[in-house]
Structure 1
Amino acid sequence: MNFLSFMVYCIIVTFTPGPSNIMILSTVHNYGKNRAIEFVIGASIGFSIMIGISAVLNTFLVAVVPKIIGIMQIIGSLYMLYLAYKIYHMDVKSAENSKVVSVKFGFIMQLINPKVILFTMTVIPSFVLPYYNAWPQILGFALLISAIGCAAFLSWVAFGMLIQKHLEKHRKLANTLMSLFLVYSAIMVSGILS
């Protein structure tokens, strides 16, 4: 397993602006950090549940259909390339503010967030299952991914104002670098270099 590619993928996908992170940033600006932390609690629980479901479902699929790993690696690589494209062309200003901020809303948002759904469906089969099949190992990676997701959410709370200013000032450079890191991860996961 290329642990560096795994970490780069997890960090870029969870730390880059998406529906949840934009919502957190908006909440910090409009309602303060305490309300944003409420949202983060729900989002972290929802994200962890989605990772757990992915680990169980994908492990079952790999046991039933062993050749699915290659297919999932290709799907994961294509998704990463799609994310790289979207990040490169990202417009943070287009996010809408929401007045509904709660633990429940943070939780529900993770269950319907396309970025989270696609990420959780690709990270375990692309990076973990080709190399590990014991439940303690899979659980360990699921917990690590959940911790990275929670850290990403909290970083948007803690550094919301600072991040927003830097993204506005250097948006194109930041988006270009994050996109290039995702392209690197997609190449490593695809298996073309193997």
Structure 2
Amino acid sequence: KAVFLPNDRHGFKGNAVLDFDHRIELIRKAITGQTTENRNAPPLYPGIECWDADSRQYGSGWTDELMQRLSGQYPDAYFCFVIGADNLPSLDRWHNFAWLAENVHFIIVPRLGQSDVSPLRGLGLGCRLPVCRGSASLHTLPKMVSPLPGLSLRFSWVEMPMVPVSSSDIRARIRTGKSISGLVPELLEPDIIRLYSDE
């Protein structure tokens, strides 16, 4: 199962461009395909869910506290935390990084401008990485442990094609009146245009 966990209080970015409730609504609509007119339609992606477990009402917004809370709620689950490679340069500055390094398996996906794991070398990590093909099952991911002074860090690198567009590109297109057709799910296009036109 894959779960989207929008963050209500980002430690590095400050206030989000779009409020938490709207982001939850858009994600759920994208993965279920359900609207007010077809609430009983089968979900588009049955193996994907969106939880509000990282909202302000549950805590600080720190990833380590979120993962500790989820691990307590689901003690038999093996959690992997998916991050974009653009997070790598700041990973060692995440709150309670030592706990995260010991307890969380990171799955790293390429992002525009950051398509390799070279920033991990700055954390004292070995460069040999397990590679997960796009079709790999989470159950078959290798559990690699790499050396870190006094710590270990579990991570997997996913090879996948990158989409050459960013959320800031989409917002810029909306502000300038350009089409975003084909860049966002068709079902969400009217909502995204409406929400970001108000920026």
Higher radius of gyration, 1 or 2: 2
| Higher share in helix | 1
Normalised by the length of structure 1, the TM-score is 0.24
Q: Tell which has more relative contact order, 1 or 2 (C-alpha 8 A, sep 6+).
A: 1
| Higher share in strand | 2
Normalised by the length of structure 2, the TM-score is 0.24
